[in-house]
Amino acid sequence: MMHLLRSEWLKLRTVRVNYILGIIAAAFPIVVIALIAALSGEPGSTANDLVGAVTATMLLTAIMLGVIGALNLTTEYSHNTIRTSFAAVPQRVKVLGAKAAVTLLVVVVFAALVELITYSIGAGILSSRDAPVTIDGSDRAALLGAVVLAGMLAMLGYGLGLLIRNSPATVSILILWPLLLESIVRGVLSAAGIENPTPWLPYQSALQMANPDLGSGDPTRVRAGLFLGVVVIMFVTVGVFVNERRDA
């Protein structure tokens, strides 16, 4: 199993597009938070909302990492290199499991580092402007939730990739799901008389994991995470099952 993990790590770190996406995923929150902290006309207010600003910018990071999770699989099907892996290890589930494990570990560690750096830079700049930053339990839960969300989106992209096997289509669905599909469902549910449709939408509900200021009508972080987690597990499980029976 170790040789499979090493192989998947080698594949992940030698694909150029992963570096491009990683740079975007890291640069966006760091630059935005640094500018907000440095240019804010009310540093005290910004200090109070720093965690919310960090987790909000981390949402783009999570999506970019979800794209990496998708491309790490679909590019192998596009270039037929997955056939070599399956030929070397006929037990396909081992190959797919190793790829999922490496992708998830790298994404979670990367997201945690980016978030830590982003928060530290923002807090340092605000402290230098005489606006010290404080953090409570809800803030810590939101910061952790943003990292967990990144891991979930990476696995969602991976699961979609198992089923679709096409990079443009997989990435399009991964991005359009929250922007278009769930927005349409939200409109339908609102028209049906449901006042707060968010708990019924797995992707938008999961965003609450990274929200430091949950409202009374919002789902809890655990409930939101479990909802998307079940969806992710369903896609991955069905994807592995299908790949066991389809030609590579």
Give 44-93 pLDDT, tens digit per residue.
888 888 999 999 999 999 999 999 999 988 888 888 887 777 777 778 88
Distance between CA atoms of residues 168 and 174, nearest Å: 10
Distance between CA atoms of residues 149 and 56, nearest Å: 12
Domains identified in the chain, total number: 1
Look at residue 149 in the predicted model and tell me its pLDDT.
94
Per the CB < 8 A criterion, the answer to whether 44 and 54 are in contact is no
**Is residue 191, in this structure, part of any structural domain at all?**
yes
Expressed as residue numbers, the domain containing 55 is: 2-243
Q: Answer whether residue 102 shows pLDDT above 80.
A: yes
Residue of 172, 150, 189, 200 lying closest to 71 (CA atoms):
172
**Is residue 102, in this structure, part of any structural domain at all?**
yes
**Is residue 161, in this structure, part of any structural domain at all?**
yes
Look at residue 130 in the predicted model and tell me its pLDDT.
86
CA distances (Å), 70 to each of 94, 137, 185, 195, in order?
18, 33, 24, 34
In this structure, which amino acid lies at residue 166?
Answer: N
More confident residue, 155 or 2: 155
**Is residue 248, in this structure, part of any structural domain at all?**
no
Distance between CA atoms of residues 96 and 63, nearest Å: 21
Look at residue 157 in the predicted model and tell me its pLDDT.
93
**Is residue 39, in this structure, part of any structural domain at all?**
yes
Mean residue pLDDT of the chain comes to: 87
Look at residue 158 in the predicted model and tell me its pLDDT.
93
Per the CB < 8 A criterion, the answer to whether 209 and 111 are in contact is no
Q: Compute the radius of gyration of the chain from its Cα atoms.
A: 19
CA distances (Å), 106 to each of 53, 82, 89, 137, 143, in order?
24, 20, 23, 26, 18
| pLDDT above 90: percentage of residues in the chain | 42
Can you list the alpha helix ranges (DSSP code H) found in the chain? 2-13, 16-39, 43-48, 50-78, 82-88, 92-128, 137-164, 167-176, 182-191, 202-206, 221-243
Q: Using pLDDT thresholds of 50, 70 and 90, give the confidence band for residue 35.
A: very high
Q: Using pLDDT thresholds of 50, 70 and 90, give the confidence band for residue 190.
A: confident
Per the CB < 8 A criterion, the answer to whether 9 and 99 are in contact is no
